[in-house]
Amino acid sequence: QVQLVESGGGLVQPGSSLKLSCSASGFVIDSIETYRVGWFRQAPGKQREGVSCTSASDGNKYYANSVKGRFTVSRDNARNIVYLHMNNLKPEDTAVYYCAINHGIFCSPSASDYKAWGQGTQVTVSA
C-alpha cells in the first residue's frame, strides 16, 4: 500500500518561502512517476482546497488562482518525491497542507479524484 508523508511545514513570516515535500513509499511494481499528484490545503473552518497538481507525465499542471505565480510544483521521480515550492507566503496561506496521489492521465484539483493521502503538514504564516 502506497504511503505518503508530507514535511517542510512551519511558522514563517509573510513574504517568506517554504518548500513542502511529499515522500511516497510502498510501491510494488511502479513508482510515483505513474501517478498524478495533488496538493491540497485546509484552513480551520474551511473546506479542503485544491492548491496545485501535476500529471504523471509532469506535462500538465494546475495552480489555484490564489497561489498562481507564487507556488510551483515539481517532481523528483527517482526519489519518489513531489515538492511544493511556496514563495511570498501570505497569512491566508495558513493551513494544513496535504498531498495525494492516484492513477490518471491529467492532474485534477478535485479531492475526490485521489485515493491515497498523507497526514498533512502545518503551514502558519504570521508576523
The pLDDT-based confidence of 34 (bands split at 50, 70, 90) is confident
Length of the chain (residues): 127
Q: Which of the two residues, 53 and 27, has the higher pLDDT score?
A: 53
pLDDT of residue 85: 98
How confident is the model over 107-123, as pLDDT tens digits?
899 999 999 999 999 99
